[in-house]
Amino acid sequence: MGTDGTHTSPWSIDRTLLLPKVLYFVQCGANVCYLPFLGIWLLSIGLKPPEIGQIAALRYLMILFGAPFWAFIADHFYAHKQVLILVIVMSVITRMAMPFIGGSSLILLMCATVSSDFFYSIIAPMLDRTALYILGDDRKDMFGRQRLWGTISWGALSVPVGSFVAYIDDSKWYFYLYAILSCIMVALLIPAPISAAKGGPPFWKGLKFLGRPRAAAFYFCMVMVGCCNGLISNFLFVHLKSLHAEPALMGLTLTVNCLTEIPCLFFSGVILKKVTPQGGILLAAIAFIIRFFDYYLITNPYHCLIVEPLHGISFGIMFASAVRIASELVPSNLSTTAQGLLAGMTGLGGMIGAILGGYIYESFKAKVFLFAMIAPTLIIIVFSPLALMDYLTFRRSTSNYGKLQTGNEEEFEMKREERVDEPVVLNDLQPRHTRMDKLFIACHRIISAHLYLII
């Protein structure tokens, strides 16, 4: 749907939506210059694996506290653009300090690294909030089509960046490239029409929305999602290496991830219209379970490619669903706080997954992925009642309400015109429930009663 209300092709690009696409492309391009190569750079300056692990844990901790902190500042003072530009500039300054510190002082290097992540942690959530703000309520289902440009950037730039730095033979260029792309993002943001969403309840009163059972269940599930991602990102390649996988296979898994993530993000709006965002979270949990079970069973490392396409669901559909749900939990003037808390909870889960996964893998090796199945199972147990209730509400809102029991819309319109001055007969407006609908409604009432007793 175009801005003038006309229907457009799903493959066309709306000029009003170029900004979020470009911002995602540049931001993820900056990330790919830094994040994948950070561990290699730390090794090259003489740090040992335990020291790198300590820095990684502190980085997760900064995401946990940094994202909600900056989101609070942005929402409380209605300063979203100013905060976004500030954190980008500060992340550049602190990351540019890292190559000059090098291995001369571990304490200073750790301070610079974790400080940069404290600033950086809110950039992605604020871009999500900016994309949703530009889309508006009528086009939220197009969020995935904006976010996929970040995935395209990651897949398209990772190899050129690595090859360029290898050709230059100076690892400082990882940081220089990050700074250049970050400055481009700041230049795009300065004239951008991004404003704070005013109105709604006062900030402190609005925070009570985040304390409701629905919000608590959602953010708990996001911690579990973070655990799943932390385990995969930290231990999948370690496990594949123990199976004598070649580096080319590891690169191929990342390529498959990107290739499957793009269509899932592109069609996420269509998919979530069918299953609802809550159903999207459950689909992601099922995808995680299948992936973990496969990782545990395989003896040939190439067999992991069988389930890697599920990354499109476990990340693409999950991410689009989570951002949508977070934006709907609170009034619009607290949207950044909700997105920041989403990033903080997934960061907390990533830290838990990395730490617990390390101890479990050391003792049980591949069985770590059996333990990992606990996290998505908890998501299904906690989120299923809420997802079912929302699905029933969705079905009722899109069913044949307002139709005659004959199901003929044209006949209903003729009857309505004939009886303009007559009182409405409510029985004529009742939906025709199928047996499946009645079953869903019965389950809905049972679950509602149980939740009422629990809450």
Q: Where residue 126 sits, what CATH number does that domain have?
A: 1.20.1250.20
Q: At which of 352, 378, 398 does a domain end?
A: 398
Q: Are residues 180 and 212 in the same domain?
A: no
Q: Are residues 358 and 270 in the same domain?
A: yes
191-205 residue pLDDT tens: 887 766 665 666 677
Q: In the predicted model, what is the mean pLDDT of the chain?
A: 83
pLDDT at residue 437 in the model: 47
**Domain residues for 73?**
16-196
Q: Are residues 393 and 442 in the same domain?
A: no
If you average pLDDT over residues 240-250, what whole number do you get?
Answer: 88
Task: Evaluate whether residue 5 is within a structural domain.
Answer: no
Encoded tokens for 398: 């899109």
Decide if 280 contacts 272 (C-beta within 8 A).
Answer: yes
pLDDT at residue 136 in the model: 85
pLDDT at residue 183 in the model: 97
Please, where are the H alpha helices in 305-408? 311, 318-329, 335-364, 368-372, 374-398
291-331 residue pLDDT tens: 999 999 999 999 999 999 999 999 999 999 999 999 889 88
Q: How far is CA 294 from CA 228, 305, 309, in A?
A: 14, 10, 12
Task: Evaluate whether residue 285 is within a structural domain.
Answer: yes
Q: How confident is the model at residue 436 (pLDDT cuts 50, 70, 90)?
A: very low
Residue 420: phi and psi, rounded to 5, are -60, -40
Task: Evaluate whether residue 10 is within a structural domain.
Answer: no
Task: Evaluate whether residue 435 is within a structural domain.
Answer: yes
Handedness of CA 198, 200, 202, 203 (dihedral sign): negative
Handedness of CA 107, 234, 27, 341 (dihedral sign): negative
Assess whether pLDDT exceeds 70 at residue 417: no
Task: Evaluate whether residue 6 is within a structural domain.
Answer: no
If you average pLDDT over residues 247-263, what whole number do you get?
Answer: 90
Residue 303: partners with Cβ closer than 8 Å, 6 or more residues away: 294
- More confident of the two residues 136 and 10: 136
pLDDT at residue 395 in the model: 61
Q: From CA 293, how far away is CA 314, in angstroms rounded?
A: 14
Least confident of 49-63, 164-178, 228-242, 357-371: 49-63
Least confident of 261-275, 307-321, 382-396: 382-396
Q: Are residues 35 and 141 in the same domain?
A: yes
Task: Evaluate whether residue 413 is within a structural domain.
Answer: yes
Q: Are residues 215 and 361 in the same domain?
A: yes
Which has the closest alpha carbon to 34: 234, 183, 177? 177
Q: How confident is the model at residue 113 (pLDDT cuts 50, 70, 90)?
A: very high
| Phi and psi based region of residue 2 (left: phi greater than 0; alpha: psi -120 to 50; beta: remaining) | beta
- The distance of Cα 136 from the centroid of its chain, to the nearest Å, equals 18
Residue 210: partners with Cβ closer than 8 Å, 6 or more residues away: 219, 329, 330, 334, 337, 338, 341
Assess whether pLDDT exceeds 90 at residue 269: yes
Least confident of 167-181, 239-253, 271-285, 411-425: 411-425
Q: Are residues 113 and 234 in the same domain?
A: no
Which has the closest alpha carbon to 209: 325, 367, 347? 325
Task: Evaluate whether residue 11 is within a structural domain.
Answer: no
- The distance of Cα 314 from the centroid of its chain, to the nearest Å, equals 10
Decide if 301 contacts 240 (C-beta within 8 A).
Answer: yes
Highest mean pLDDT among 81-90, 167-176, 389-398: 81-90
Assess whether pLDDT exceeds 70 at residue 171: yes
Q: Are residues 307 and 384 in the same domain?
A: yes
Q: From CA 132, how far away is CA 136, in angstroms rounded?
A: 6
Q: How confident is the model at residue 348 (pLDDT cuts 50, 70, 90)?
A: very high
If you average pLDDT over residues 35-57, what whole number do you get?
Answer: 83
Decide if 155 contacts 255 (C-beta within 8 A).
Answer: yes
Residue 340: phi and psi, rounded to 5, are -65, -40
Q: Are residues 382 and 329 in the same domain?
A: yes
In residues, how long is the chain? 455
Q: Are residues 408 and 392 in the same domain?
A: no
What is the number of helices (H) and of strands (E) in the chain?
19, 0
pLDDT at residue 354 in the model: 85
Q: How confident is the model at residue 142 (pLDDT cuts 50, 70, 90)?
A: very high
Assess whether pLDDT exceeds 90 at residue 419: no
Assess whether pLDDT exceeds 90 at residue 184: yes
Number of domains present in the structure of the chain: 3
Assess whether pLDDT exceeds 80 at residue 17: yes
3-state secondary structure 72-112: HHHHHCCCHHHHHHHHHHHHHHHHHHHHHHCCCCHHHHHHH
Q: At which of 136, 164, 196 does a domain end?
A: 196
Encoded tokens for 138: 């009528």
Q: From CA 330, how far away is CA 116, in angstroms rounded?
A: 29
Place of tokens 């750790």: 110
Q: Are residues 283 and 296 in the same domain?
A: yes
Q: How confident is the model at residue 425 (pLDDT cuts 50, 70, 90)?
A: very low
Q: At which of 196, 225, 258 does a domain end?
A: 196
Which has the closest alpha carbon to 209: 375, 345, 338? 338
